[in-house]
Structure 1
Amino acid sequence: MQLLEYFGVLTGLLYLFLEIRQHRAMWVVGFLTSLVYVFVFFFSKIYADMGLNIYYVAISIYGFWQWTRRREVETAQNGEAAPSQEAILYRNMTPLLFAGICSAILALFALLYYFLHYFTDSPIPAGDAFTTAVGIVATWMLARRIIEHWIFWIIVNCVSVYLYYLRGLYPTMFLYICYAILAAVGLYTWKKKGIRTHDSTL
């Protein structure tokens, strides 16, 4: 199991590097990382995070399709591969979208906490529910290239470091320390080098 965890750490770091660069291969690497952590978290009794990684497996397919579709649209519109393909594109949350995102997180947290507290032997139901609820929404935000997803990940990763410390998952704890740092780098990189757009098809 520890070898599997170390493999997940390595692919997780590669995933985040590709995410910062907005390389669509990130979705393939993310698929593998998530699949590994389904088993790691199951045996560690971190059930909501296990479920979250099942969700990551599914949304990796959606994210790859979403980003590939966007590039195909650009190619069709320009008659050739668009020069802007390598650019980092992002959009911002609107107040209405922010309200919807917060409502979704609260609803997911309440549902997950209730399930974990009453129906599992999870030793950390509140923390597990929180990181899972925010992670579900933040991953959807990434698929839509919403830049504020980095802020959500910084918060989730910091909380996750403590949770994995409690469960003795020290390689994974190290991974999430790196995630927190690189999420801040990702936010800076997208803001500094990215192109803001209001294109709702992103």
Structure 2
Amino acid sequence: MTTSLEVAANAVMALSIVLAGRNNVHSWWLGVIGCSMFAVLFYSSRLYADVALQIFFIVTCLIGWRRWAGGGGNGGGALPISKARPLLVGSMALAGLAATAAYGVMLQAWTDAYAPFIDSAVLMFSIIAQLLLMGRRLQTWPFWLLVNTVSIPLYASRGLYLTAALYAAYWLNALASWLFWRRQMRGLEATAQLNA
């Protein structure tokens, strides 16, 4: 059953996610509000890994807000979009798989968590995607596509149909954002070459 909390959390997060995809710094403070609401919602649905994820998101939204606005602490203006090295991305993916397995075992053994391994995968790969997003790395979007693909059936299975439907929309947004960021990054590279 859809609650007013679920509706409000999804409305705020939808705006935050669209703004992130459009490379807009206001995505971050909206994320703090939306993640706080989702933490309460997921706790009531016994999705404890997702509660932990929302707490992580709140902290990283505050850090990301500061980094995007201040150039990552280098004092050179807004942080530009860039690519992470393939070795780093591959290492993060392997670490995500290992952490998913370990946390899933813990949730299964010590809690009444629903779908502990799937819930853990959402947690671990969202962390990776968020870290890449904080650094304005282009590879954030394929990770968000993965997270959204796993999240849709998970939330639907708990009766969170509005959240599942919005994650389907987030999947489309992640794909569009990936293309948008790639165009922006190429445009910046072309401008830099002309000015060199």
The two structures have a TM-score, normalised by structure 1, of: 0.86
Shift of 1:186: 0.2
Give the whole-Å Cα distance in 1 for the aligned partners of 2:27 and 2:114. 32
Structure 1 window deviating more from structure 2 (142-151 vs 97-106): it is: 97-106
Q: Residue 177 of structure 1 corresponds to which residue in structure 2?
A: 168
Shift of 1:117: 0.6
Structure 2, unaligned stretches of length 5 or more? 190-196
Shift of 1:44: 0.3
Give the whole-Å Cα distance in 2 for the aligned partners of 1:89 and 1:70. 7
Following superposition, which runs of at least 4 residues in structure 1 exceed 2 angstroms of deviation?
193-197
Shift of 1:99: 2.9
Structure 1 window deviating more from structure 2 (6-15 vs 91-100): it is: 91-100
Structure 1 window deviating more from structure 2 (182-191 vs 95-104): it is: 95-104
The answer to whether residue 49 in structure 2 is matched with residue 48 in structure 1 is yes
Q: Residue 28 of structure 1 corresponds to which residue in structure 2?
A: 29
Are 1:12 and 1:175, in contact at CA under 8 Å, matched by a contact in 2? no
| Structure of higher RCO (CA pairs closer than 8 Å, 6+ residues apart) | 1
Shift of 1:126: 1.1
Shift of 1:115: 1.5
Fraction of identical pairs, as percent: 27
Are 2:71 and 2:80, in contact at CA under 8 Å, matched by a contact in 1? no
Change in CA separation of 1:49 and 1:162 when aligned onto 2, cut-off 3 Å: same
**SS of 1:5 mapped into structure 2:** helix
Are 1:35 and 1:54, in contact at CA under 8 Å, matched by a contact in 2? yes
Structure 1, unaligned stretches of length 5 or more? 76-84, 198-202
Deviations 1:139-165 (A, max 9, x none): 000001111110011111011000011
The two structures have a TM-score, normalised by structure 2, of: 0.89
Structure 1 window deviating more from structure 2 (140-149 vs 65-74): it is: 65-74
- The partner residue of 1:112 within 84, 103, 114 is 103
- The partner residue of 1:137 within 118, 128, 131 is 128
